[in-house]
Amino acid sequence: MKIATAAYPLDVLPDWAAYEDKLTRWVAEAADYGAHLLVFPEYGAMELATLAGLDVAADLEASLHAVADRLGDADALHAHLADQFGVHILAGSGPATTALPKGVTRPVNRARLFAPGGSVGVQDKQIMTRFEAETWDVVPGGPLQVFETALGKIGILICYDSEFPLLGRALMDADLILVPSVTEALTGYSRVRIGAQARTLENQCVTVMASVVGTASWSEAVDISVGAGGIFGPPDVGFPDTGVIALGQMNTPGWVYGDVDLTAIAHVRANGGVLNRRDWHAQMGRDDRAIVTSLT
């Protein structure tokens, strides 16, 4: 399959038609290039807040609800485009306030995966960054899932989630792990990229990282974003020696494309130079910490 992953700028939208036009252009471009799976970044939906006015978009609390109010319309558009172009689309995540898990009363950070024909998978972020938890009051949502699709088994780790190996291990059955992200500095981008590549190593799968790029001075939450699209595999048989299948130029808007063969994933899992996925349990049953031995 061909995968397209986005380095996506957020815009001030004068009206809904501008959003429809923007999203349609992005999807059409990737589909025309032959992509089967399109991946948009974390909080890519935040530009919807500008439809309520820049004063609302600039208010952290108001912007959460402004986007949540528009998420249903955005989902209908994504579903239409997935069907029209015959592609799978991971929509840019955004705050959601409906269909929340029991006991959750604050917005969650929700990604949605659209398949041609109308099927939709929903994945909420599991672990909040300090900004989300301490300033924005966005909270963890529903559990991790692996989605059976015509393209293979797909899991989603939203940004910070990719930095936790046990979350990655929960998706061990996935052929592809999608990592939508938004990071405000090179340090954050590097952490998420390293996390994504570590998950490919452990699970012997492919990870796909999308990023928000550029400035959005109208929002404290996404005012400066640094990143690039990237597609990664295990540095083993059937994959590049570096594990980098495709990597975009930093902070350059547009799609990054890469080709992925599911048979290569199956082969490296069965007969790779190393078998990290199989050998995961070899580390279990040990003490939580190594023995401290003094050499003084």
Is the Cβ–Cβ distance between 54 and 218 less than 8 Å? yes
Per-residue pLDDT at 251: 98
Per-residue confidence band for 291, with pLDDT thresholds at 50, 70 and 90: confident
Per-residue confidence band for 290, with pLDDT thresholds at 50, 70 and 90: confident
Per-residue pLDDT at 284: 85
Domain 2-283 adopts which CATH fold? Nitrilase/N-carbamoyl-D-aminoacid amidohydrolase (3.60.110)
Per-residue pLDDT at 247: 98
Specify the pTM. 0.98
In this predicted model, what pLDDT tens digit does every residue of 103-159 receive, in sequence order? 999 999 999 999 999 999 999 999 999 999 999 999 999 999 999 999 999 999 999
In this predicted model, what pLDDT tens digit does every residue of 241-257 receive, in sequence order? 999 999 999 999 999 99
Per-residue pLDDT at 21: 98
Per-residue confidence band for 270, with pLDDT thresholds at 50, 70 and 90: very high
| Residue-wise DSSP of 275-286 | -HHHHGGGGTTS
In this predicted model, what pLDDT tens digit does every residue of 12-52 receive, in sequence order? 999 999 999 999 999 999 999 999 999 999 999 999 999 99
Cα–Cα distance for residue pair 36/30, rounded to 1 Å = 8
Average pLDDT, the chain: 97
Per-residue pLDDT at 245: 98
Kindly report each contact of residues 105-110 with a partner whose C-beta sits within 8 Å and lies 24 or more positions away, as own/partner. Answer: 106/137, 106/138, 106/139, 107/64, 107/65, 107/68, 107/137, 107/138, 107/139, 108/138, 108/139, 108/140, 108/141, 108/142, 109/42, 109/43, 109/138, 109/141, 109/158, 110/71, 110/141
| Nearest alpha-carbon partner for 259 in 241, 242, 239 | 239
Question: What is the helix (H) or strand (E) element at residue 93, kind and residue range?
Answer: strand 88-96
User: What does the domain layout of the chain look like in residue ranges?
Assistant: 2-283
Kindly report each contact of residues 121-125 with a partner whose C-beta sits within 8 Å and lies 24 or more positions away, as own/partner. Answer: 121/145, 121/147, 121/154, 123/155, 123/156, 123/158, 124/96, 124/158, 125/42, 125/93, 125/158, 125/159, 125/160, 125/161
Per-residue pLDDT at 280: 95
The tokens of 78 are what?
């994504």
| Nearest alpha-carbon partner for 136 in 214, 63, 83, 200 | 63
